[in-house]
A and B are shown apart, each in its own frame.
Chain A
């Protein structure tokens, strides 16, 4: 009864404060970004300016190749402006590039300079060999520069033949990967729903410290543990709602929501208890800001590892947020490993309980900090 009463009070306070709506509002904004700004497959489209300084038959042949790759099978006549100069161009749009075919090498040089696009002039030298001139911008990687150096020397026809002759065998044919839109969801719900709880919990505690109500609670016949639990329940409620706001519209009912709820609850519990513990050491949010910031940065490092598969050192893998992100991913992919999710959930629950005992001890000792 005391816990229920405290929970209802906390929920009332939360709905009358700013922090409660941050998480929900963020979830709605993130959902809009995911649905309307992130495509299912992200295409990196590069703009290039090309001049074919070749005999007409060769130029026509390469133009035909470009046309074959064009998305709608036809070019678009356009005019490119560079300062006071205007250049006629044909625009070819392929899966990976927007190629402007212009009528002079000067146009390529001028546009590469003013538009900061990659330019290329293809010509024949005196010996009848193809000659490549690139205009790069300086931001291209060394790997791209090396590739561009190698291409003129390589036998393109031979390369295509070799690629066609290669056999690619998929070792896990049942594994269905997430598309680009779905792939961002694990990091979004891990932070906006689960680990945001740490910040929100700390904010709730500092509001209470500011008003001195912790002391008032301490002289009632209710326990400090109930006080903390009532706040945790509110944080878990918002974590669940915000998590489902992002997940349901993207995945529909094709995933195991039992596991989603389990992971949201245990990770939210862990994060909110962490927030409780941090808040117990400081009198106000200004003094706690440094610690909260450092912990948040630490928890965000696994996001970098998530989007950089080649970088995943052992110490990243023991940060709780890394476990949560990859566990959410396991739930979202078809044939994900349920065992991993359950194991991580059990670990987070155990760690959260240990932190809760510690926080309870801290709050009993430091109630007069206000």
Chain B
């Protein structure tokens, strides 16, 4: 569904690349996570894939269309949800979606149905200018589904949403993916990526450091650990110990035998920890 080969992009039109030698493929039906800290080149890459930034160097094909000679009709098959909500504040939620559905040549979804789907039912006739940031973000997300996209670009879809609503958005993404929609997910939230993505790419300083599935990454880089809080001589201590290394196993047994346990949790290495291990960088 997406083919990217040796992609470069420089905002200053020189050797200072925001994206450098990026190559990857996303097959149909996959949820592909593009992960990295702010300024890593995620949004630049998505901008090029969606035609918002001019392709300078490299080969990019999206939904079968070469981006270099992009046609408007390509967008009948694509949906794009932006990180910054961008809806008309002087129109109501319903008017916003009703207007956008007219701009496609394919069967579109009912605006009211989408508004209800993202939890904005009852607000459809309010001007978007009165919405909170999160509500605008949900409307932007809903709009990206209006043309039943085969390929769905999502840029930080849960940013600024409270946990319950973020969970709802994740469910919607899963549901759409189950129906066959290919998802290109750009985020710096590793928990969402872990939960949703079939494969992830780690991008830092414009370069992809690694591409694999979260499961494989955990097997390769992860470590089974247990975090234990215990009282020794009346003082609270906390230690994280491997459940497979002999030395740590012995230490854990010693703690269990001699100290009063307060809490104890097994803990797999997270995608974020793996990201730090691989790239040597944090996500913020």
Taking Cβ atoms with an 8 Å cutoff, the residues of A that contact B are 1-2, 5-6, 9, 12-13, 16-17, 211-213, 215-223, 365, 367-368
B82 touches A5 (CB 8 A): no
Provide the bound-state CA to CA distance between A218 and B82, in Å: 12
**What residues of A have a CB within 8 angstroms of the CB of B102 in the complex?**
1-2, 5-6
Q: Is there a chain A Cβ closer than 8 Å to B26's Cβ?
A: no
A221 near B75: Cβ-Cβ < 8 Å: yes
Please provide the chain B residues from 76 to 108 with a CB less than 8 Å away from any CB of chain A in the complex: 76, 78, 80, 82, 84-91, 95, 99-100, 102-106
Measured CB to CB, the closest approach of chain A to B125, in angstroms, equals 14
Q: How far is the CA of A9 from the CA of B88 in the complex (A)?
A: 10
Which of B48-56, B113-121, B234-242, B252-260 lies on the face that meets chain A? B48-56
Is B143 an interface residue, CB under 8 A from the partner?
Answer: yes
Residues of B within 8 A of A212 (CB): 82, 84-86
Q: What does the 1/0 interface line of B38-51 toward A look like (CB < 8 Å)?
A: 00000000010011
Q: Find the residue from B76, B78, B86 having the highest chain A CB count within 10 A.
A: B86
Apart from A211-B89, A216-B80, A219-B75, 13 more pairs, CB < 8 Å? A2-B102, A6-B103, A9-B95, A16-B90, A211-B86, A216-B86, A217-B103, A219-B51, A220-B103, A221-B72, A221-B73, A365-B54, A368-B52
Given contacts A12-B95, A212-B84, contact A221 B54 (CB under 8 A): no
Name the residue of chain B whose CB is nearest to the CB of A2. Answer: B103
| Docked complex Cα distance between A287 and B103 (Å) | 31
Q: Which of A13, A212, A213, A221 has the most CB of B within 10 A?
A: A221
8 Å CB contact of A219 from B80, B90, B105: B80
Q: How far does the alpha carbon of A321 sit from the alpha carbon of B80 in the complex, in Å?
A: 43
B52 touches A367 (CB 8 A): yes
Is A216 a contact of B53 with CB atoms below 8 Å? no
Separation of A207 and B95 alpha carbons in the complex (Å): 18
Q: Please count the residue pairs between chain A and chain B whose beta carbons lie under 8 angstroms apart in the complex.
A: 74
5 interchain pairs (CB within 8 A)? A1-B102, A9-B88, A212-B82, A221-B75, A367-B52
Contacts of B76 in A (CB 8 A): 221
Smallest CB–CB gap between A332 and chain B, Å? 38
Q: Give the distance to chain A from B146, nearest Cβ to Cβ, in Å.
A: 9
Contacting pair B54 A219 (CB below 8 A) = no
Q: Knowing A2-B103, A9-B99, A219-B52 are in contact, say whether A213-B75 is a contact too (CB < 8 A).
A: no
B91 touches A211 (CB 8 A): no
**B contact set with A: CB distance below 8 Å:** 47, 50-54, 72-76, 78, 80, 82, 84-91, 95, 99-100, 102-106, 140, 143, 147
Contacts of B91 in A (CB 8 A): 9, 12-13
Main secondary structure of the interface of B (DSSP, over half): loop
Which B residues touch A9, using CB under 8 A? 88, 91, 95, 99
Q: How far is the CA of A216 from the CA of B147 in the complex (A)?
A: 13
Question: B72: which A residues are within 8 A, CB to CB?
Answer: 220-223
Whether A222 lies near B82 (C-beta < 8 A) is no
- Least CB separation from B140: chain A residue: A216
CB nearest to A208 among chain B residues: B88
Give the residue of B51, B53, B84, B103 whose beta carbon is less than 8 angstroms from that of A5: B103
B206 to chain A: closest CB distance in Å?
17
CA distance in complex: A365, B52 (Å): 8
Given A221-B104, A368-B47, A368-B53; A216-B99 close (CB under 8 Å) = no
Among A9, A365, A367, find the residue whose CB has the most chain B CB atoms closer than 10 A. Answer: A9
Give complex CA distance A152, B53 in Å.
Answer: 80
CB distance from A241 to the nearest CB of B (A): 20
Does B90 contact A5, Cβ atoms closer than 8 Å?
no
A6 / chain B contacts, CB cutoff of 8 Å: 99, 102-103
A365 to B70, CA, bound (A): 13
CB B61 to nearest CB in A, in angstroms, measures 17
Given the complex, which residues of A lie within 8 Å of B80, measured CB to CB? Answer: 216, 219
Shortest C-beta distance, B114 to chain A (Å), equals 15
Given A13-B88, A13-B91, check contact A218 B143 (CB 8 Å): no
Contact partners of B143 in chain A: CB under 8 A: 216
CB distance from B49 to the nearest CB of A (A): 10
Do the beta carbons of A213 and B88 come within 8 Å of each other?
yes
B52 touches A218 (CB 8 A): yes
The interface residues of chain A lying within 8 Å CB-to-CB of B85 are 212
* In the complex, the 5 A-B pairs of residues with the closest C-beta atoms, listed nearest first: A212-B86, A5-B102, A220-B103, A222-B103, A219-B80
How long is the Cα–Cα vector from A2 to B73 in the complex, in angstroms?
A: 13
Chain A residues whose C-beta falls within 8 Å of the C-beta of B104 in the assembled complex: 220-221
By the criterion CB–CB under 8 Å, are A13 and B90 in contact? Answer: yes
- Please name the residue on chain A nearest to B76 by beta carbon: A221
Tell me the nearest residue of chain B to A214, going by C-beta.
B86
B51 x A215 contact (CB < 8 A): no
Q: Are B100 and A216 interface neighbours, CB within 8 A?
A: yes
- CA of A365 to CA of B89 in the docked complex: distance in angstroms? 25
Select which of B51, B73, B90, B95 is within 8 A of A17 by beta carbon: B90
Assembly CA distance A220 to B144 (angstroms): 10
Chain B, Cβ-Cβ closest to A14: B90
Q: Within the assembled complex, what's the spacing in Å between the Cα atoms of A217 and B87? A: 10
Tell me, in angstroms, the Cα distance from A216 to B99 when the chains sit together: 12
**In the complex, what's the smallest C-beta–C-beta distance from A251 to chain B, in angstroms?**
36
Rounded to whole Å, the gap between the CB of B94 and the closest CB of chain A is: 12
Q: In the complex the two chains form, what is the Cα distance from A6 to B95 in whole Å?
A: 12
